[in-house]
Amino acid sequence: MPPSAKEIADFIHARLLGNGAVQLTGISSIRAASNGDLVFVTDERKLPQAIASGASAIITGEFAADLASAKPLLLHPQPRLAFARAARLICASSARKTGTHPTAIIHPSASLASNIAIDEYVVIKEGVSIGSGTWVGAGTVISKDVSIGENCEISPNVTIYSGVTLRNRVIIHAGAVLGSDGFGYVRDEVTGRYEKFPQIGRLVIEDDVEIGANTAIDRGALEFTRIGRGTKIDNLVHVGHNVQIGEDVVIAAQTGISGSAIVENSVVIGGQVGIADHVRIESGAILGAQSGIPSNKVIRGKGIVFWGTPARPIREYLKQLAVLARLAKKA
Amino acid sequence: MPPSAKEIADFIHARLLGNGAVQLTGISSIRAASNGDLVFVTDERKLPQAIASGASAIITGEFAADLASAKPLLLHPQPRLAFARAARLICASSARKTGTHPTAIIHPSASLASNIAIDEYVVIKEGVSIGSGTWVGAGTVISKDVSIGENCEISPNVTIYSGVTLRNRVIIHAGAVLGSDGFGYVRDEVTGRYEKFPQIGRLVIEDDVEIGANTAIDRGALEFTRIGRGTKIDNLVHVGHNVQIGEDVVIAAQTGISGSAIVENSVVIGGQVGIADHVRIESGAILGAQSGIPSNKVIRGKGIVFWGTPARPIREYLKQLAVLARLAKKA
Amino acid sequence: MPPSAKEIADFIHARLLGNGAVQLTGISSIRAASNGDLVFVTDERKLPQAIASGASAIITGEFAADLASAKPLLLHPQPRLAFARAARLICASSARKTGTHPTAIIHPSASLASNIAIDEYVVIKEGVSIGSGTWVGAGTVISKDVSIGENCEISPNVTIYSGVTLRNRVIIHAGAVLGSDGFGYVRDEVTGRYEKFPQIGRLVIEDDVEIGANTAIDRGALEFTRIGRGTKIDNLVHVGHNVQIGEDVVIAAQTGISGSAIVENSVVIGGQVGIADHVRIESGAILGAQSGIPSNKVIRGKGIVFWGTPARPIREYLKQLAVLARLAKKA
């Protein structure tokens, strides 16, 4: 049974105006909405368009309280957030079936909760443990002594090296590699050749982390790499060995974080940013896309945007760009 | 039977000089050419070297019309293009065999054309359709309701998420991920934590697109991501949710295109370029390697090269670099 | 039997002080060391901490020769290097078992040495050869006519295209793609459309190369791509067609090297560096992170660091940055 507008309002703690019995079977953008769809509006000017759309209900803000609408309205102080939560309820009906495909190869020493879904050609090695509600997509390889918590979603063709820990509700997208060897070598001063430094540490990924497609995260060399609770990492990101990433950090696509860097809580990192080894990005700093932080630097400033290579406060950087443009125009 | 020089000349609409009966069994660079090989020459000064090489025939321009050559010459206004086409004819003889490997797991509801090749350990889920002449390499996972056209080539270990559409003659290289969730979260202003915004849109890849190894392309959030006809994308490229890429666009390796950006027809994008969200690159613009386009910008100028971060017309940028270098020398 | 301090000292050619009979069962950082662990110290000031730690033996320099220590000391001119070598001896006891998993699909024409390890769902096509001591991880696909030497380690979900050669002791991390088609097209001047230029060359990876997770290396177009002996490549690196990389080169994560570039011996390349097509980086040059080398440039200077885009000697670049900052402050 799809949820009603009333059930959704209760679930997201919204104030319901209008017919609460309307059933919602899907979510949509306003433009593509059809019967049964829930949409959301954060900008008052888009309300008429939403009301005129094919949608069956609208999540919006208190600014719509006095509006005449034939569609039920669900009023919430954060409509976009409320919509994201409502979507979980609506889409839950199409949830994955549990069960283990007969082609999955699971080592007898692995400890798997009962209501999990293990797809075709998954390989699970000795000593692995997987918590209830977790899904492992086809072709994924989970090496020795990996520990995976509850309600994780691991897409197809992921590789998890030995000794990695995923806590609960971790989402891993296809092609991601977790726990690969870090890039550590010792140069023999006599021969000039590089020898591999041991990479035997661990990788811990805490609750509610999401990791994008084809991202690669290295294990620690001798100790561990850590991705903190609630952190979101986009596609094709590189995280080197011994890196410590805090909680609620956002890292956009193709950013690279070198060995032993520290990224504190609530940092926001744009795409293609480069963070060199042993850097510390302090809590709440914001790094603009493509900026670069040289080795051993400390970036400090809650809510301050840094940009450029080497990264400077954005006001400074923009002023430098403006000065240079003016000089070049005169030249 | 390998094709003769005459058959190739007919196929590529070239003017044949010399012995048309010579059979061509391979293609080669001039340097490595041996008996049976076809080579090409675009630069008149390289003709003597080609004639002296081990090759059995030469594709070249009208500038060679009066030349005495013991080897057959195939004259074409675009020798490199003609060579690329001829290569298809010569290499067709070594084409893939059709058939489905017994270890491929194909859902009974999938609709597969008869003359396709499905390799070892491929997984094809419910509702998938695949057109004739298409090859799916070993270990590739094709999720629910994916639609793949005719004569596509999908390399090993590719992951295609549910609801993705590939039209005809699409080439996907190994490790690519198509249709992964976009990077969309809503920050709860009360708790400071991020919640996942639904990523349930689609991805459409049109005819004749090629996508490089380990590239990741996200589905739309609520609507769709589109890669237009004839567009070529290199390795390790990131394309975010809702991105609209036009026709005949070229995107070099490691470029990242953020959510909701628009790239119009015939744009050329160098390697490691960063395009922020909601940018529009208008038709025919050229973005130099590593350049960066900040959010919401519009880049306009057919045939104009832009460079730097933030990207400027290259003449402007080079002038700025020169002015700065001069000032530093004086300082 | 785990090795004794005496056996390790002999293996790494270190001078042993103290009890050589102590057995070493693991390696560790000083901070995490427990009984049985070997640690190393390069900085004299950290010696007391190492001696006070739980470790059972310490590799260090001659500066510790006069020290009173209850733990055995192994003195070596390059303690870090000696530790890396000792780690190999200690960790060898937990080496992989040999054998071929019954689900591996191996073409009858493949030629495999006897003491190798082939894991679950590996696919090995016709004409492949694999030398003794090599491990192939689960889900890896090895195409036609690939040649792999002795004692290689190929992680799970790797894809190797046809005709690629790996010499001995090559390490490939998960998700890497070797030998994919290069990014080569010819634009038809009449229609404006791109046609694929043939990509039929080879890729040769020499002894002792290591290649990171999700890195992609293209085959040659008509000739070959080469990665020289002892070169180390990090995660998510792109190497284009026809690229020639010398020996003992170090390439950090997310760097991209475009078609036909040449990187000579002992070059050091930081992360996210972009090297355009037909560039030559001469022996011993060092490229700072995120620097960019435009097409056809030659970078020369053993031991000289280059930085910025376009890359300049770092002193020049830093001076330019300083001049610009000063001007902006005055403005």
Q: A–C: how many Cβ contacts below 8 A? A: 172
Strands of the sheet containing B135-136, edge to edge, are B99-100, B117-118, B135-136, B153-154, B171-172, B210-211, B232-233, B250-251, B268-269, B286-287, B305-307, B312-313
Determine whether the interchain pair A121/C121 forms a contact, defined as Cβ–Cβ distance below 8 Å: yes
What is the pTM (predicted TM-score) of this model?
A: 0.97
Between B157, B196, B258, which is nearest A84 by CB? B196
Split at pLDDT 50, 70, 90, the class of B97 is confident
| Mutation for testing the C interface, residue in B290, B306, B309, B312 having most C CBs under 10 Å | B290
Cα separation, B213 vs C222, whole angstroms? 19
Predicted pLDDT of residue C271: 98
Cα separation, B270 vs B285, whole angstroms? 11
Quick: pLDDT tens for C38-77: 999 999 999 999 999 999 999 999 999 998 888 999 999 9
In a domain, B206, yes or no: yes
DSSP string for residues in B304-321: -EEETTTTEEHHHHHHHH
Give the domain CATH number at A247.
2.160.10.10
Determine whether the interchain pair B180/A328 forms a contact, defined as Cβ–Cβ distance below 8 Å: no
For residue C261, the distance in angstroms to the closest alpha carbon of chain A comes to 23
Residue where a domain terminates, one of C94, C110, C144: C94
Split at pLDDT 50, 70, 90, the class of A95 is low
Quick: pLDDT tens for B15-48: 999 999 999 999 999 999 999 999 999 999 999 9
Residues 180-209 of B with CB under 8 A from A: 180-181, 183, 185-189, 192-198, 200
Predicted pLDDT of residue C182: 97
In a domain, A135, yes or no: no
For residue C146, the distance in angstroms to the closest alpha carbon of chain A comes to 22
Please check whether residue A218 touches C, CB under 8 A: yes
Same domain, B205 and B299: yes
* Contact residues on chain A for B180, CB-CB shorter than 8 A: 155, 173-174, 212-213, 235
For residue B182, the distance in angstroms to the closest alpha carbon of chain C comes to 19
Residues 244-283 of B with CB under 8 A from A: 254, 256, 258, 272, 274, 276
Same domain, A259 and A173: yes
Same domain, A165 and A90: no
Classify residue A36 as left (phi > 0), alpha (psi -120 to 50) or beta: left
Report the neighbours of C using a cutoff of 3 or more CB pairs below 8 angstroms: A, B
Q: Strand runs (DSSP E) across B137-242, as ranges?
A: 141-142, 147-148, 153-154, 159-160, 164-166, 171-172, 177-180, 185-187, 194-196, 202-205, 210-211, 216-218, 224-227, 232-233, 238-239
Q: Are A106 and A88 in contact (CB under 8 A)?
A: no
In a domain, C151, yes or no: no
User: Catalytic site residues of C?
Assistant: 241
> Residue B310, preceding bond cis, omega within 30 degrees?
yes
For residue C200, the distance in angstroms to the closest alpha carbon of chain B comes to 9
In a domain, A305, yes or no: yes
Determine whether the interchain pair A139/B123 forms a contact, defined as Cβ–Cβ distance below 8 Å: yes
Same domain, C203 and C288: yes
Residue where a domain terminates, one of B61, B94, B127: B94
Q: How many distinct structural domains can be found in chain B? A: 2
Same domain, C87 and C187: no
Report the neighbours of A using a cutoff of 3 or more CB pairs below 8 angstroms: B, C
Predicted pLDDT of residue C95: 66
Give the domain CATH number at C45.
3.40.1390.10
Compare all CA atoms of chain B with the CA of A211 and give the residue at the minimum distance.
Answer: B183
Range of the domain at B193: 158-315
Same domain, B212 and B301: yes
Pairing mode, if any, of strands C15-17 and C73-75? antiparallel
Same domain, C165 and C290: yes
Quick: pLDDT tens for C282-306: 999 999 999 999 999 999 999 999 9
Same domain, A167 and A280: yes
Q: Are A149 and A128 in contact (CB under 8 A)?
A: no
* Contact residues on chain C for A327, CB-CB shorter than 8 A: 327
Per-residue pLDDT in tens (0 to 9) along chain C, 331 residues = 899 999 999 999 999 999 999 999 999 999 999 999 999 999 999 999 999 999 999 999 999 999 888 899 999 999 999 999 999 999 875 667 899 999 999 999 999 999 999 999 999 999 999 999 999 999 999 999 999 999 999 999 999 999 999 999 999 999 999 999 999 999 999 999 999 999 999 999 999 999 999 999 999 999 999 999 999 999 999 999 999 999 999 999 999 999 999 999 999 999 999 999 999 999 999 999 999 999 999 999 999 999 999 999 999 999 999 999 999 999 8
Same domain, A168 and A277: yes
| Mutation for testing the B interface, residue in A101, A136, A171, A235 having most B CBs under 10 Å | A235
In a domain, A150, yes or no: no
Determine whether the interchain pair B250/C194 forms a contact, defined as Cβ–Cβ distance below 8 Å: yes
Q: A–B: how many Cβ contacts below 8 A? A: 172
In a domain, A307, yes or no: yes
Determine whether the interchain pair B290/C310 forms a contact, defined as Cβ–Cβ distance below 8 Å: no
Distances, alpha carbon A80 to alpha carbons A18, A74, C175, in Å? 20, 12, 36
B278 labelled catalytic? no
Split at pLDDT 50, 70, 90, the class of B271 is very high
Determine whether the interchain pair B185/A212 forms a contact, defined as Cβ–Cβ distance below 8 Å: no
Determine whether the interchain pair C234/A236 forms a contact, defined as Cβ–Cβ distance below 8 Å: no
Between C27, C235, C252, which is nearest A216 by CB? C235
**How many alpha carbons lie under 13 Å from residue B67 in its C-beta half-sphere?**
24
Cβ neighbours around B45 below 10 Å, total: 7
In a domain, B303, yes or no: yes
Residue A57 has pLDDT above 80, yes or no: yes
Same domain, A64 and A164: no
Same domain, A90 and A182: no
Quick: pLDDT tens for A153-167: 999 999 999 999 999
Between B84, B250, B271, which is nearest C196 by CB? B84
Same domain, C70 and C189: no
Cβ neighbours around C44 below 10 Å, total: 12
For residue B68, the distance in angstroms to the closest alpha carbon of chain A comes to 53
Between C157, C230, C248, which is nearest A159 by CB? C157
Quick: pLDDT tens for A211-222: 999 999 999 999
Residues 43-72 of B with CB under 8 A from C: none
Interface predicted TM-score of the whole assembly (ipTM), two decimals: 0.96
* Contact residues on chain C for B155, CB-CB shorter than 8 A: 159, 161, 180
Average pLDDT, chain B: 96
For residue B121, the distance in angstroms to the closest alpha carbon of chain A comes to 7
Predicted pLDDT of residue B96: 76
* Contact residues on chain C for B290, CB-CB shorter than 8 A: 274, 290, 292, 309
| Mutation for testing the C interface, residue in A103, A181, A203, A219 having most C CBs under 10 Å | A181
In a domain, B311, yes or no: yes
Predicted pLDDT of residue C53: 96
Residue where a domain terminates, one of C73, C94, C115: C94
